[in-house]
Amino acid sequence: MFASIIASGLAAGAIYALVGITYNTMFSTSRVMSFTAGQLAMLGGVFGSLFTLKLGLPVMAGFLLTLAGCAIIGIITEFVAVRPVLKSLDQHLYVLSTLAVALMIQQVAAIKWGTEPQPFPRLIGLGSGIWDEKFWLPVVACVVTIVALEYLYRRTLVGRAFLAIAEDNFAARAFGLPERNLRVASYALAGIIGGVAGFSSGELLLAFFANGALLNFYGFVPVALGGLGNNRGAVIGGLALGLFQQAANFLVGGIFSSVAVFALFIMVLLAKPQGLFGLSTARRV
Amino acid sequence: MTAVTATPPRDETGRLRAILPKLAPFAGILAAAMILPFVSNDYWALIGTRAAIYWVLVSGLNLIVGFAGHLAIGYVALLTLGAYTTSVLAAGNVLTAVEPFAALAIAGCVGAVFGVIVGLPALRLRTFYFAMSTLGFATIVTQIALAWQSVTGGGIGIAGPEFPSPFNTAWGYYYLCVAFAAICTWLSANVAHSRFGRALIAIRDAEVAAEATGISKPRMLVAIFLLAGGLAAIAGGLFASLQTYITPDAFTFDLSILFFIAILIGGRGSILGPMLGTIILTILPEIAAPLAAWSTFLYAVLLLVIVLVMPGGIAALLDFQNRRPLASNRAIVPRPVALAECMGRNAGNSVLSLRGVTLSFGNVRAIDNLDLDVRPGEIHGLIGPNGSGKTTTLNVISGYYVAKAGTIRLGDKLLPQGRPTLRARHGIARTFQTPRLIGEASVLKNIMIGGTIEGRASFVEALLALPRNRRDERTLNEKARALLAVVGLETLAEIRADRLQHSELRFIEIARALMLEPDFLLLDEPAAGLSGDEIERLAALIIAISRRGTGLLLVEHHADLIFDICDSVTVLNLGRVLAAGTPAEIRVHKEVVSAYLGG
């Protein structure tokens, strides 16, 4: 049982971490927390199943099409729900506009795809038991994503521009960085990361429209605990959350594991609203 | 003398005439609800009942979302809780069965308690976090309802309570629910139009200023969370009876969205708007039957349109008064003489004194070992170059910052540091460098905020509009109007504050601070952005205030104003006192002249 807890805990944790990174990627360039993060991961599963099972495309082609689809959804989010409300960030209208877009995505998925979980194809066919690919694929996807992001942020010009904007939007614009295009790019990137999360976890979570809302919450917990925009915090928080949740799941049962996660989330946030690794809040007066 | 007579206290009939146009739409909706049974069939009874039940919940939630501005998305959780509590108690499958109405009342109490538990995170968490935590709660309640089979019947469900005759027919039950809805409208309107409702909006739009007027956010929020939770649970009990049989499936997240979006479509800080929103959203899927499956999608589209195109919602559409253009050549003509009629004389002689106050941000010493005395009836100027620590000093006095060392005393009492909400009770009021007002509220309401702690009625008295609350309202209203006349803006009483000019906002802030009849008034650059004439009038007003025995601490860059009206002046440089003394001494002080005044 211990091995199962570790396997499923790491798998779930990796998915939560990826959704958390999706949140952070959007947040870093726009200061907006978007309700679409979980929906992007849900779409990763739905698109994956659609392209590979329903349309019978090869896995690789299905994967690339899925990422492209999620990237487009990410870009649409930026245009429809983020750009118009950035002027008045302090009014927090983005909470409502991104919620609206997330609901639309979820509703279209429910109606067009169906409200029942649908199967996801076996991608490679490697491993069984606790070494089944459905457990290690999300972990691999998470590691690859982190490495790729590190490479992007540290070694490429675009990545450094992302960091600059995340660090100080005004200064970055003063230096002539194309802030708007970079923001669109970051939303596309967030879509891709969400798509990776959904595609790699398809065998574990299936192609199910309700995964969006679920991942929205479980993906936000590591972000909140780790501090906004802090990818390292999101990964540590995500893995810890996955292990904690699966341990509770195996030891006391599914319902109480959700209650335990929720209670933990609320208590940590009440004690440290800025998250465990976050910085304290700005001056008010 | 003329100031008060300029706005005579209205008599009862005048008051009624003013309120009547606002009541008319509610009366119209009620009348339409009453005649619905005579013009339609049982199908509409179901829809009408549903709309009434939803409104019972939304009327409470509106105070949280629309007034306090907290984005509680997952309120279906409390509907579920109320539905199951009522059903389980009425069915008697756990304890002995109780009467449906008693079960409903108990559910209301349980809902009130959980309303606070769900709401508690709002005391510390910001918007998106709070939205998420209510969302998480909604998921959990449904899961518990599914899993706790011995009580809730799990996925199979449980029968809803059946109310006794005459409420067991479709129309009988409809009238019962409409009665509940009408009472809830009355209750929420009472709260909204009391000092509690204004305080909620103040916390939403001008939290820092709300603290300076002594409004305590936790107490306000807990009160409305109790109310909203109770109402939501009662709505749940009614909902269970309407459904006759409930399963966890009946409480989809879509319902939560409906409640939440009804309020936003209706408009923040309004009651009529969300009520219309609730009715529209309940009927919408019914009249467009093929779209029923797409109803949540429609709600989401509506939400997006509202946010992007008309953030004010229905309420802003209906707000005809604020669409009339304002006169463009308005002048602010304060009547300082009238101050005597609305402000008592400060008889105390305790001195506000700072000793050795030190504060640093990181490695920067913002204030360094500052001594300062403000005496009653004295105008004390605080000047210095930018970044010399003037505003920071005000912020330490008003409790926003905690000094690293040193004491602040009022007479022989030590003022607790870092507790801004306690300052108003000590008779210390202030204004801000950028005016912090509630843009969406009328000028009069903005000023009434300043007197929030003077109200005597409790939340329950306000909820039920008992005499003591009505007396509070009358006193606050009259005093605010009188002070508005003192600062010379009485013609703008009913205008939304965000339509005014900057200079007018400065005077409104002063009027708001005077509502407290403060012993000490801290003014942060009151003359910034004012014209020459306006500065002269401001000076006369400040002098008049000091004559009432109020001690004023004036942070200002206009050296002329400082030297004209101040009794003593302290000059700061890099957080230290560079010089202190009378204006005449400061004017010729060598270092001050070279460092600051120039010449």
CA B388 distance to own-chain centroid: 34
Minimal CA separation from A126 to chain B, in Å? 34
The yes-or-no verdict on residue B485 having pLDDT over 60 is yes
CA B96 distance to own-chain centroid: 43
Answer yes or no: are the C-beta atoms of A39 and A102 closer than 8 Å.
Answer: yes
How confident is the model over B553-570, as pLDDT tens digits?
Answer: 999 988 889 999 999 999
The yes-or-no verdict on residue B466 having pLDDT over 80 is yes
Minimal CA separation from B170 to chain A, in Å? 32
pLDDT score at B150:
84
List the single best residue of B299, B304, B440, B555 to mutate versus A (max A Cβ within 10 A).
B304
Task: Please tell me the least confidently modeled range out of A80-84, A127-131, B442-446.
Answer: A127-131
Chain B hits for A213, Cβ within 8 Å: 135, 139, 253
- Domain boundaries along the sequence of chain A: 2-271
Helix (H, G, I), strand (E, B) or coil at B428: strand
Among residues B409, B104, B383, the alpha carbon closest in space to that of B241 is found at B104
Highest mean pLDDT pick, A265-269, B340-344, B411-415, B479-483: B479-483
Highest mean pLDDT pick, B95-104, B285-294, B307-316: B95-104
- Interface A-B, measured as beta-carbon pairs within 8 A, has a size of 109
- Please answer yes or no on whether B126 and A273 come within 8 Å at the CB atom: yes
Beta-bridge partners for B357: B370
Q: How confident is the model at residue B4 (pLDDT cuts 50, 70, 90)?
A: very low
Considering only the beta carbons, identify the residue of B132, B301, B308 that sits closest to A220.
B132
- Please answer yes or no on whether A270 and B132 come within 8 Å at the CB atom: no
Answer yes or no: are the C-beta atoms of B138 and B77 closer than 8 Å.
Answer: yes
| A96 shares contact with chain B (CB less than 8 Å) | yes
Task: Please tell me the least confidently modeled range out of B217-231, B490-504, B582-596.
Answer: B582-596
CA of B254: which chain A residue's CA is closest? A103
The yes-or-no verdict on residue B276 having pLDDT over 60 is yes
Average pLDDT, chain B: 88
Q: How confident is the model at residue B598 (pLDDT cuts 50, 70, 90)?
A: low
DSSP class of B294: G
Q: How confident is the model at residue A280 (pLDDT cuts 50, 70, 90)?
A: low
Q: How confident is the model at residue B505 (pLDDT cuts 50, 70, 90)?
A: very high
- Please answer yes or no on whether B301 and A100 come within 8 Å at the CB atom: yes
Helix (H, G, I), strand (E, B) or coil at B495: coil
pLDDT score at B10:
46
Q: Give CA–CA dist B29/B12, Å, rounded.
A: 25
DSSP class of B209: H
Pairing of β B520-524 and β B428-430: parallel
- Please answer yes or no on whether A216 and B135 come within 8 Å at the CB atom: yes
Q: Give CA–CA dist B530/B526, Å, rounded.
A: 8
The yes-or-no verdict on residue B43 having pLDDT over 50 is yes
DSSP class of B380: E
pLDDT score at B101:
94
Backbone φ and ψ for B487, nearest 5 degrees, come out as -85, 0
Task: Please tell me the least confidently modeled range out of A256-270, B257-271, B561-575.
Answer: A256-270
Q: Which residues of B touch A (CB under 8 A)?
A: 71, 73, 120-121, 124-129, 131-133, 135-137, 139-140, 143-144, 146-147, 207-208, 253, 257, 264, 293-294, 296-297, 299-301, 303-304, 306-308, 311, 395, 400-401
Answer yes or no: are the C-beta atoms of B387 and B595 closer than 8 Å.
Answer: no
CB burial class (10 A; 0-12, 13-18, 19+) of residue B393?
buried
| A97 shares contact with chain B (CB less than 8 Å) | yes
CB burial class (10 A; 0-12, 13-18, 19+) of residue A155?
exposed
Of A87 and B518, the structure prediction assigns the larger pLDDT to B518
CA of A259: which chain B residue's CA is closest? B140
Whole-structure pTM value: 0.88
Which CATH code fits A2-271?
Answer: 1.10.3470
pLDDT score at B559:
85
Q: How confident is the model at residue B571 (pLDDT cuts 50, 70, 90)?
A: very high
The average pLDDT across B434-449 equals 92
| A220 shares contact with chain B (CB less than 8 Å) | yes
Helix (H, G, I), strand (E, B) or coil at B285: helix
Q: Give CA–CA dist B164/A109, Å, rounded.
A: 43
How confident is the model over A204-251, as pLDDT tens digits?
Answer: 999 999 899 889 989 998 988 888 888 888 999 999 999 998 998 888
How confident is the model over B62-119, as pLDDT tens digits?
Answer: 999 999 988 888 899 999 999 999 999 998 887 788 899 999 999 999 999 999 988 8
The average pLDDT across B355-384 equals 90
The average pLDDT across A7-31 equals 93
The yes-or-no verdict on residue B241 having pLDDT over 90 is yes
The yes-or-no verdict on residue B130 having pLDDT over 80 is yes
Q: Give CA–CA dist B302/B295, Å, rounded.
A: 10
Highest mean pLDDT pick, A141-155, B83-97, B154-168, B253-267: A141-155
Report the first-to-last Cα separation within chain B, whole angstroms: 45
How confident is the model over A55-74, as pLDDT tens digits?
Answer: 999 999 999 999 999 999 99
The average pLDDT across A134-160 equals 92
Q: How confident is the model at residue B312 (pLDDT cuts 50, 70, 90)?
A: confident
- Please answer yes or no on whether B308 and A97 come within 8 Å at the CB atom: yes
CB burial class (10 A; 0-12, 13-18, 19+) of residue B364?
exposed
DSSP class of B156: T
pLDDT score at A279:
57
CA of A267: which chain B residue's CA is closest? B121
The average pLDDT across B510-535 equals 92
Q: How confident is the model at residue A273 (pLDDT cuts 50, 70, 90)?
A: confident
Considering only the beta carbons, identify the residue of A97, A217, A254 that sits closest to B135.
A217
CA B566 distance to own-chain centroid: 35
What percent of chain B stands above pLDDT 90? 50
How confident is the model over A194-217, as pLDDT tens digits?
Answer: 999 999 999 899 999 989 988 998
- Please answer yes or no on whether A265 and B133 come within 8 Å at the CB atom: yes
- Please answer yes or no on whether A255 and B143 come within 8 Å at the CB atom: yes
String of b and e for B242-253 (b: at least 16 CB within 10 Å)?
A: bbeebbbebbeb
pLDDT score at B286:
82
List the single best residue of A30, A33, A80, A103 to mutate versus B (max B Cβ within 10 A).
A103
